[in-house]
Chain A
Amino acid sequence: MDVNVHQREIKFKMGVVPQENNLDPDFTVYENLLIFSRYFDIPEDEAKKRVDELLEFVHLEERRDTMTDSLSGGLKRRLVLARALINRPRLLILDEPTVGLDPQSRHLMWDKLKGLKKQGVTIVLTTHYLEEASQLCDRLVIMDNGKILVEGSPTDLIQEHIGSAIVETDNDPNIISCLDVHQANYEVLGDEIQIYTDKPQEVTDHLLSECKLTSVTARTATLEDVFLKLTGRKLRE
């Protein structure tokens, strides 16, 4: 369907969780959902049923008569999610769904989104939390300045750009020359060196035996490493 021609039809099948919680402050939790259901032409009886289900789904049954202004950030976010689901969307769009949330609320949001994914809802989300992207995405795109840098599944991207692991050690000229000799794939970041590898054990042993190291840490590579490698470490703005 063309968005310019079938805007209404498309919006009927879509749910949106905007970055800003634009709940209706003139109404309670329950009323927010019920009034939203009218915009989708959902008959009132059916709407009431769905509102009850959704309040249970996001654990807000106890707050149904609270005005939305007095909800905490996490509760507001859950209500916005529930609101986006009132029309049983086939496509759910979320803009930074967990920004500013405490870890419990964030994990709850992730659980809900995973559940929706299993039910077959297509989810498109933007996020700066790379852990969130690794947890939720089947396919992901890293963008910088409006351009797509890479796309693929989180594990593929890590494997392709970093390798499976990272060995971190102190910045030291001796180590650098030692690494150069071995043609290692490394990067210097301030007073730290990161070595990208698929064989962390070997590299660590090597470093410890040949390069006289004081400290070495080996860890699994993450999407964050890919992101920083691709977009650079300079602060934006």
Chain B
Amino acid sequence: MDIGMYFKPPELTSGAFKVWRRNKDVFMKNVKLNFLPPFIEPLLYLFAMGFGLGLFIEEIDGVPYAKFIAPALISVSVMYGAFFECSYGSYVRMYYQKTFDAIIATPLSIEDVIIGELLWGATRSTISATLMLPVIALFGLITFPHSLLIIPFAFLAGLLFASLGMCIAAVTPNIMSINYPILLFITPMFLFSGTFFPLNVLPEIVQYIALAILPLTHVVIIIRALTFGTPGWFLLTNLLWILVVCAIVFVISVNLMKKRLVI
């Protein structure tokens, strides 16, 4: 097997935006229902962990616990939004609804369909992050205007998680098996990416692993710096990591899916 085929850059055409628009239209049909979770989720976490658990934790690195986890909540929802949209969501559209089959009988190509799905996944992350900002801001936990940068950043980070989800959808033998990558990759990321406690309390080796292979670690670092209002040049390393990994996983996910659909 030619490993090079997984790294063939896909062609981006206006077709991808038509697929993106199809998914947006579905989303807008249930817009009230879809807008609710990003409002409710941060409230639940803030009450349970920030103000409940937070009573027992005085401060982390000099900040109150609720303020510490607020950026993590945004990061996690950026991860979940895109990942679930492009793993379960794309799998259902591909396998059960045959939506992809119908679209590729039109002038659109397979690449258009997959890229459209990925862009939509990233858009879901952006929507979640955007909706969460005012809710968290109500509690005075984030700094403006720095935090507004989270909105464009959520699209980039979302694209990375969308591509990861799409890789899973491309290789999973059935819908139940999507649970495993979630258990082995997404859940550890949720817990060990400097989300609910600082990375530096972990053994050094685990810290390196987290920085090397867990994208959420970098996302949390960037979003936290923005909500704290303390951005700096050091963030460029994290941003570069995300850009490079996003580009690679994006290309691989398109090719993996193409392979699955063509054969």
**A interface residues, Cβ below 8 angstroms from B:** 7-9, 11-12, 14, 16, 18, 20, 22-27, 31, 35-36, 38-41, 87
Contact = CB atoms under 8 A, between A and B. Distances in A.
11 contacts: A7-B109, A11-B106, A12-B107, A16-B105, A20-B101, A24-B102, A26-B99, A38-B22, A39-B15, A39-B18, A87-B106
A105 to B, nearest CB: 21
Nearest to A34: B25
Contacts of A25: 97
Contact of B97 (A8, A12, A24, A36): A24
Contacts, number: 51
Contact of A11 (B21, B98, B105): B105
Interface of B: 15, 18, 21-22, 25-26, 29, 97-99, 101-103, 105-109
Given A8-B107, A8-B109, A22-B99, 15 more contacts: A11-B105, A11-B106, A18-B101, A18-B105, A20-B98, A22-B102, A23-B102, A26-B26, A27-B25, A35-B22, A36-B106, A38-B21, A39-B107, A40-B106, A40-B107
B87 to A, nearest CB: 18
A16 B106 CA distance: 8
Contact of A24 (B21, B99, B105, B107): B99
A180 B102 CA distance: 56
Given A18-B101, A22-B97, A22-B101, A35 B25 contact: yes
Contacts of B107: 8-9, 11-12, 39-41
A22 B94 CA distance: 10
A27 B29 CA distance: 9
Nearest to A26: B26
Which 4 pairs from chain A and chain B are nearest by CB?
A22-B98, A39-B106, A16-B105, A22-B102
Nearest to B19: A39
A16 B107 CA distance: 12
A24 B98 CA distance: 8
Nearest to B21: A38
Given A22-B102, A23-B102, A26-B29, A39 B108 contact: yes
B18 A38 contact: yes
B26 A39 contact: no
B216 to A, nearest CB: 30
Nearest to B22: A35
Contacts of A8: 107, 109
Contacts of B25: 27, 31, 35
A135 to B, nearest CB: 25
B94 to A, nearest CB: 11
A210 to B, nearest CB: 60
A12 B106 CA distance: 7
Contacts of B97: 22, 24-26
Contacts of A40: 106-107
B85 to A, nearest CB: 13
Contacts of A14: 105
B3 to A, nearest CB: 24
User: Which one of A26, A41, A87 has the highest number of Cβ atoms from chain B below 10 Å of its Cβ?
Assistant: A26
